Structure 1
């Protein structure tokens, strides 16, 4: 019989890590920014110890680096890293889509279609600022369905490894919104039809197209 034990509260180090990770991932803290433990601690209302622990985790994630006499600095990634990022995403998320086609349940498909429908409504009503996070959830749900043991975790790690500034989001471009939503619809149709080859192909093309847009902006 399932139990509903209370979840342990987030530690201060976990809290600092989650805040900084989100700020780096969305480029609210841009590449090249120095992160001073004392300043971060004061801003987030914690001591320096959990900040240093969080910074060590971010260094392990390769999102910050340490330099002599400079301390921690957010990594500033260039075009080569952008190419590698979208190439890796295409491989991981494409594989996730192919595997998901043979594993997806009716409930899984319903959940994905509801999320897609929400995106379509938001797009029609001009709420494009909500589409990026919903798209992220759409992709990660598919990765989780296709590879619950490893792929979902890897898909998240890849996505968290390169910041996407809000102003660079393709979801702010009307033409891109239509193309991306059409691709999501194609992926859903392939998943419903248990066509792993098509699901993988559409996903790969979809991610690479997003990469081409990002490299042009």
Structure 2
């Protein structure tokens, strides 16, 4: 499809799925909440059929589960799931950084440095609410550079596999922002020097520290 061709309208099932997914990710629907198809349909102004399709997709994403006599329930992810999430991120994004060190171009490095500079400026100005999304872009761009075929898709799949509310972002904690920006700077230095070992090591340590902070925060 070309850029000038009209995009097909979002189906009702896609609409329901996108709304519920966003609600779960941002903890507007917390873990343990029962999702009743009729109530969701009424709230979103659709029939039950697209709601059921959306719920099946969320089940496939492992964000909801079905239990006898209870129906669909949002998965309540505990400490073990959180540890697994950050462990997977460390492996995938660490590999992305390793591969990126061997192939990053000056233009790509400049793009990452521009994003890093924007984050530093926002941090200085106290605009911490912007940093979480910018950090995700920074990490995923590195993975895309390192593994353009499919590693980036894997990194995104891991990130969407667990609902981490935006308000739980460590970037909102002013006492931790400098440490995380320093880690990003260290990753950039390793990428610029082509040091694959250092790029992977720093990225893994950065993500593991974030996971430890979340677990004890």
Shorter-chain TM-score bucket reads over 0.9
Establish whether residue 66 from structure 1 lines up as the match of residue 66 from structure 2.
Answer: yes
Q: Which moved more, 1:40-49 or 1:89-98?
A: 40-49
Q: Which moved more, 1:57-66 or 1:138-147?
A: 138-147
What is the TM-score normalised by the length of structure 1? Answer: 0.92
Q: Which moved more, 1:67-76 or 1:39-48?
A: 39-48
CA separation of 1:35 and 1:179: change in aligned 2, threshold 3 A: same
CA separation of 1:48 and 1:97: change in aligned 2, threshold 3 A: same
Q: What is the alpha-carbon distance in structure 1 between the residues aligned to residue 107 and residue 8 of structure 2?
A: 29
Q: How does 1:144-163 map to 2 (within 5 A)?
A: 144-163=144-163
Equivalent residue number for residue 173 of structure 1: 173
Equivalent residue number for residue 192 of structure 1: 192
SS at match of 2:194: coil
Cα deviations across residues 40-87 of structure 1 (Å, max 9, x unaligned)? 223223222222111111101111000111111110011111111111
Q: What is the alpha-carbon distance in structure 1 between the residues aligned to residue 16 and residue 133 of structure 2?
A: 21
8 Å Cα contact 1:25/1:161 also seen in 2? no
Equivalent residue number for residue 40 of structure 2: 40
Q: What is the alpha-carbon distance in structure 1 between the residues aligned to residue 128 and residue 40 of structure 2?
A: 31
What is the Cα deviation at residue 3 of structure 1?
Answer: 6.4
> How many residue pairs get matched?
216
Establish whether residue 8 from structure 1 lines up as the match of residue 8 from structure 2.
Answer: yes
8 Å Cα contact 1:94/1:201 also seen in 2? yes
RMSD value over aligned CA atoms? 1.7
| Structure 2 unmatched ranges of 5 or more | none
